[in-house]
């Protein structure tokens, strides 16, 4: 293999409620990005039902992969390696992608590269920011994770802060449920917030003594529930849009505060955001302003590369592939896989 040869990765993602496949060229060029969302199905139950997610992945995965290949105008014969999310996530959901990836890799005699889902979210920043290189600080805010990560080099991560309880996205989903907005809560809170006053209600901004980069969102979530209960008990009306806007502001203030602190403390001048919550326009604006004030370069993926997708898995698989990561036929789903583990 000559050094100049283009590397095409077929990537598969099925860790939660999106069945996704993508073809990525040389790590940063997305040739196709197909996402089949199960949101409409899980909405009926107010959240993701793991058993339903697994079954739906099985139904959809072949079709999604065929579409990803045809959108990229390719066949499996053009592919150099198969990348797949093998954790963290729902075990039954992950297994569908892992089994599919192994079957294709075995049948076509291709290298198999297992990818950490959060590594994918972080590296989604490379797709539209071709100049971005480590080291930088990344805030990963998704439905399952809230991590402040120092990306020291390709494949070398240091988690410098994390949530002690709920993930940021989880807090959005729970508050949305309390206001009666339904699932998934993030985009609904964001929309309703546009009509509300973010200063109307003083919800708490949690700080964790001695752990300046850690987060806690269960307090703000409880404060919202208490506020609603209090109003109901006193027979007072409340403005849902004000609750949404004030809650969103409280979460964003803490995320931005801890993140800026970390970027400065680590002596870096590059900051990126990632994960489903990073598609929130108000959060993006707040981060842009905070970075501008502090003379920090700000990076973010487009919303479609923030929420779960396989293009980001293709990016991560490419860098893992370059560094020599190869998985065997014993690759298994690891629901609680730690970032940086092999
Ligand atoms: O990254 P993601 O698609 O899946 C996980 O890996 O968890 O993130 C999903 C989470 C959900 O909690 C969803 O409510 C939240 O991201 N989310 C948002 C927005 N869009 C999605 N949260 C706030 N504002 C949004 N616009
Ligand atoms: Zn995700």
SS (H, E, C) 237-287: CCCHHHHHHHHHHHHHHHHHHHHHHHHHHCCCCEEEEECHHHHCHHHHHHH
Q: Ligand 1: which residue has its CA nearest to atom 19?
A: 186
What is the predicted pLDDT for the residue at 342? 62
- Which residue of 97, 276, 287 sits with most ligand 1 atoms within 8 Å of its CB, as the best mutation to test the pocket? 276
120 CA distance to ligand 2 centroid (A)?
Answer: 8
122 CA distance to ligand 2 centroid (A)?
Answer: 10
Residue carrying the six token digits 């779960």: 308
140 CA distance to ligand 2 centroid (A)?
Answer: 9
267 CA distance to ligand 2 centroid (A)?
Answer: 28
- Which residue of 307, 313, 337, 339 sits with most ligand 1 atoms within 8 Å of its CB, as the best mutation to test the pocket? 307
> Residue 319 in contact with residue 155, Cβ under 8 Å?
yes
168 CA distance to ligand 2 centroid (A)?
Answer: 12
Q: Is 185 in the pocket of ligand 1 (CB under 6 A)?
A: yes
> In 272-286, which positions are buried (b, 16+ CB within 10 angstroms) versus exposed (e)?
bbbbbbbbbebbbeb
pLDDT < 70 positions in the chain = 1-3, 341-342
Which ligand places an atom closest to the C-alpha of 13?
A: 2
* Torsion, Cα of 41, 47, 52, 57 (10° steps): 80
Q: CB 94: neighbour CB atoms within 10 A?
A: 27
Structure tokens at 227: 């506020």
Residue 118 alpha carbon, nearest atom of ligand 1: 6
Structure tokens at 296: 């920090």
Which ligand places an atom closest to the C-alpha of 146?
A: 1
Q: Is 248 in the pocket of ligand 1 (CB under 6 A)?
A: no
Q: Is 87 in the pocket of ligand 1 (CB under 6 A)?
A: no
What is the predicted pLDDT for the residue at 285? 98
Question: β-strands 156-162, 146-153: how paired?
Answer: antiparallel
Which ligand places an atom closest to the C-alpha of 145?
A: 1
Q: Is 275 in the pocket of ligand 1 (CB under 6 A)?
A: yes
């Amino acid at each position: 293999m000559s050094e100049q040869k283009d590397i095409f990765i077929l990537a598969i993602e099925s860790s939660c409620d999106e069945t996704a496949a993508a073809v990525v060229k040389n790590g940063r060029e997305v040739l196709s990005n197909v996402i089949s969302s199960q949101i409409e199905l899980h909405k009926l139950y107010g959240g993701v039902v793991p058993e339903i997610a697994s079954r739906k992945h099985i139904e959809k995965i072949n079709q999604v992969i065929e579409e990803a290949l045809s959108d990229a105008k390719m066949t499996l014969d053009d592919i150099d390696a198969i990348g797949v999310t093998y954790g963290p996530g729902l075990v039954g959901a992950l297994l569908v992608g892992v089994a599919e990836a192994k079957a294709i890799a075995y049948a076509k005699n291709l290298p198999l590269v297992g990818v950490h889902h959060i590594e994918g979210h972080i590296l989604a920043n490379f797709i539209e920011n071709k100049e971005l290189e480590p080291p930088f600080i990344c805030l990963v805010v998704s439905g399952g994770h809230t991590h402040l990560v120092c990306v020291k080099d390709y494949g070398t991560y240091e988690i410098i802060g994390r949530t002690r309880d709920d993930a940021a996205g989880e807090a959005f989903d729970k508050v949305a449920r309390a206001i009666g907005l339904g699932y998934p809560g993030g985009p609904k809170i964001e929309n309703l917030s546009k009509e509300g006053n973010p200063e109307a209600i003083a919800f708490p901004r949690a700080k964790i003594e001695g752990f300046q980069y850690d987060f806690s969102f269960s307090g703000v979530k409880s404060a919202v529930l208490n506020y609603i209960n209090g109003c109901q008990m006193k027979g007072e009306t409340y403005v849902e849009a004000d609750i949404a806007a004030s809650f969103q502001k409280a979460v964003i203030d803490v995320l931005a505060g801890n993140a800026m602190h970390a970027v400065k403390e680590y002596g870096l001048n590059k900051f990126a955001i990632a994960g489903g919550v990073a598609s929130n326009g108000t959060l993006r604006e707040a981060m842009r302003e905070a970075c501008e004030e502090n003379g920090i370069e700000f990076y973010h993926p487009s919303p479609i590369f923030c929420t779960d997708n396989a293009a980001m898995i293709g990016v991560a698989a490419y860098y893992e592939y370059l560094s020599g990561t190869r998985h065997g036929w014993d690759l298994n789903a690891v629901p609680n896989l730690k970032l940086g583990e092999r």
